[in-house]
A and B are shown apart, each in its own frame.
Chain A
Amino acid sequence: MPKLINRQGQVLSPDGGLTWLTLTQWQAQGAAMVGQRLGLEFQPDEHPESVVTDLAQFAALAARFPKFTDGRGMTIAQRLRVRYGWRGPLWAVGDILQDQLFALARVGFDHFALRDDQKVELAKAAFADHQVRYQGAWDEAQPLWRREDRLGLAP
């Protein structure tokens, strides 16, 4: 059973008290489930475009990482957050590594399903892996050069 943590490193209930559906399940039987507290999980090859108008039906969204080398979930998060303005919880589930938590949080994930052997304390620290972020992302839309006066530092 994976452990669910948030960005503060708190351990939460593993399913968040939600009924989780895949996109296929939602499209097939979603109508019957409206009214329940639902979560929708995207597979890496699915584009959120197809359910944009349904997003308000969900209490949380998730993107699955079948393998830590598969970064499609990163773009799914970017699209959900930036393009479609999803402001609710966004879970990273599947095969994710401690060393990816910083990047996952940057693109908009705020809940992370860790493997049992992954240590919560280390994971919590990983959210502060880098002090400097060059480019804008969900966590900070402004690139470094818009945030800081780099001109004054130039040699």
Chain B
Amino acid sequence: MYQYDEYDQRIVDDRVTLYRDQTRRFLAGELSEEEFRPLRLQNGLYIQRHAPMLRIAIPYGTLSSAQLRALGDIAQRWDEGWGHFSTRQNLQLNAPRLEDTPDILAALAQVQMHAIQTSGNCVRNVTSDHFAGIAPDEILDPRPWCEILRQWSTFHPEFSALPRKFKIAVTASEADRAAVQVHDIGLRALRGPSGEIGFEVWAGGGLGRTPVIGTRIRSWLPAPDLLLYVEAILRVYNADGRRDNPYKARIKILLREMGADAFTQAVEQEFSRLEGGPGQLTEAEMQRVVRQFAPPPYAHADEHSLVADAQAIADAVQSQPGFERWLARNVHEHRQAGYAAVTVSLKRAGKPPGDATSDEMRLVADLAQAHGFGEIRVTHHQNLVLPDVRRASLPALYAALRAAGLATPNIGLLTDMIACPGGDYCALANARSIPVAEAIRARFEDLDDLFDIGELELNISGCINSCGHHHIAQIGILGVDKNGEEWYQITLGGTQGPEAAIGKVIGPSFSAGEVPDAVETVVRTYVAQRTSCEERFNETLARIGQAPFREALYAETH
């Protein structure tokens, strides 16, 4: 993975010094709350319901063991001993003291980490595929391009006060595990006829109040032009994006109001002025970054070792209870023979989705070293991934994770829910997400039942800002406020990936107490109506329409 050189290190070190002085000036009354706000936000610090919240950047979701261990230590020393992995592959601490945040940033800088631009109206952390570099279906590793974008966007002077936040995602596989079509800019890496790298460019996607699937504005952008094209898009947006209404300030609204053709033309015109300029990536720079993501020294697998791996796994299926289910759900194919990727489920009884304690972070960091090359990924589904596990070590890894309560075999199943922190923590939320997620999880606790239902995506957002990505889940739940009370709206038919689609509201919303019954009704209707276990929720919905779901829901409860 990418290692800082002295320039990268000086950037984060200087930032700590600056932020320490900004915080001092604020606490001394030399900076008003209003003036301090954008400064602290661009360092990831929100003022929340009960305490500040610090969002730490995990660029494209890749961490080293040393970094994850440091995050665990930071959460213990300056917070309450736990953190929340977010849908943008970051880590949020929910109770640091403002006075301590400069020290936290200094501790992060020691392990080549920061909280730069994790909030505020600027280019945010670039997200990517959590299986980058290891997925069998990938065209190339997208992370070098994310890193190139990270450096370019860090303290970009022209784009430091945009109309609104700006999110870029990069994928390099057909499956698009980075949801690029619902980002301000989505990039899909491709290879041209001679193996050259390029990108398909999407713009103007986003969730939130006005969910929009992005528009493909370029089908082929040569890799050396990547930064120039992104610069052109941001320049058009910074100059002409709306600033009169924060709800209409995202680039998706500009694209819609200008029209896709006029927007694309404006971007192309700006780009044509930049082409061939100094921002065009050199072969040397691309190679410098690409080389740092070179595959680790994998052990070569031969016929004998593969047979031995298979035997060890077959033995474990017999001897270790629960291993087979975990193997089916939490273990993923790897491009390297003899290896697998393992998802550490952060969706378990009694814990909010995505939460991990300091001890758990340190344990996962250790396991990534014992069973891999000391690397961990954070998924936008709020789980962790150990990317390079020898297949022969799977039984031992399972035993260690199971002992720690981190082996719930539910990846891709209904209880692998995405949920934002909701009204328990977030000042924006209309409703709580965590208790609702827990009630649904408890309803579907029976593993036989959960496996019979099969793959199903359910996401929960506590408000229309949609951090829980409810719009693109097959079953989406949105917290809404009605006369000071918490209600939950259900949407069906959202889709992630290359055929991204926004779910449709099924009908009147439900009280918190009614939600588990409503979800169960939807799920049972699907199971009863599907033609086989192979038919996925959205296929059934497309075939039979919303009516049977609506009848089942509202005939019973209203």
Contacts and interface: CB of A to CB of B under 8 A. Distances in A.
A71 B11 contact: no
Contact of A144 (B7, B39, B161): B7
A11 to B, nearest CB: 20
Contact of B161 (A68, A76, A151): A68
A74 B160 contact: yes
Contacts of B531: none
B291 interface: yes
B28 interface: no
Given A70-B243, A134-B151, A151 B157 contact: no
A70 B241 CA distance: 11
Given A134-B152, A136-B279, A143-B152, A99 B39 contact: yes
Contacts of A70: 161, 243
A104 B155 CA distance: 12
A135 interface: yes
B278 A142 contact: yes
A130 B8 CA distance: 12
A70 B239 CA distance: 10
A154 interface: yes
B159 A153 contact: no
A74 B151 CA distance: 19
B225 to A, nearest CB: 14
A68 B157 CA distance: 13
A74 B11 contact: no
B284 interface: yes
Interface in A132-155: 132-137, 141-146, 148, 150-151, 153-155
B222 interface: no
Contacts of B152: 134-135, 143
B154 A106 contact: no
Contact of A130 (B39, B155, B161, B243): B155
A80 interface: no
A75 B288 contact: no
A132 B12 CA distance: 10
Contacts of B162: 71
B278 A146 contact: yes
Given A134-B152, A146-B282, A74 B7 contact: no
Given A136-B278, A142-B278, A146-B278, A74 B18 contact: no
Interface in B257-283: 273, 277-279, 282
B315 interface: no
Contact of B7 (A72, A107, A148): A148
Interface string A49-85: 0000000000000000000111110111110000100
Given A132-B10, A143-B152, A145-B288, A150 B5 contact: yes
Contacts of A145: 282, 284-285, 288
A76 B161 CA distance: 13
Interface in B1-43: 3, 5-7, 10-11, 14, 18, 22, 35, 38-39
A134 B154 contact: yes
Contacts, number: 113
A75 B121 contact: no
A134 B158 contact: no
B159 A134 contact: no
Interface bin, chain A: 35 or more
B238 interface: yes
B270 to A, nearest CB: 9
B504 interface: no
The dominant DSSP class at the A interface is loop
A103 to B, nearest CB: 4
A137 B157 contact: yes
Residue of B3, B157, B159 with highest tally of chain A CB at under 10 A: B157
A86 interface: no
Nearest to A117: B30
Contacts of A75: 158, 235, 238-239
Contacts of A104: 157
Interface string B284-310: 110010011000000000000000000
Interface string B224-256: 000100000001001100010000000000000
A120 interface: no
B160 A143 contact: no
B192 to A, nearest CB: 23
Contacts of A134: 7, 11, 151-152, 154-155
Contacts of B49: none
Residue of A44, A69, A151 with highest tally of chain B CB at under 10 A: A69
Contacts of B77: none
B38 A68 contact: yes
Nearest to A69: B161
A47 interface: yes
Given A132-B14, A143-B152, A78 B158 contact: yes
Nearest to A74: B158
A131 B14 contact: yes
Contact of A69 (B5, B38, B155, B159): B38
A71 B160 CA distance: 7
Contacts of A154: 3, 5, 288, 291-292
B443 interface: no
Given A70-B243, A129-B18, A155 B292 contact: yes
Ranked nearest first, the 6 interchain pairs of A and B with the lowest CB-CB distance are A71-B161, A103-B157, A106-B157, A153-B5, A145-B285, A155-B3
30 contacts: A47-B239, A69-B38, A71-B158, A72-B238, A74-B158, A74-B160, A74-B238, A75-B238, A76-B239, A78-B235, A102-B157, A103-B157, A103-B158, A104-B157, A129-B14, A129-B18, A131-B14, A134-B7, A134-B151, A134-B152, A136-B278, A141-B278, A142-B278, A143-B227, A143-B278, A145-B284, A146-B278, A148-B7, A150-B285, A155-B5
Given A70-B161, A106-B157, A107-B157, 16 more contacts: A68-B38, A71-B158, A71-B159, A72-B239, A74-B160, A75-B158, A99-B18, A134-B7, A134-B11, A136-B279, A143-B227, A143-B279, A145-B282, A148-B7, A153-B6, A155-B292
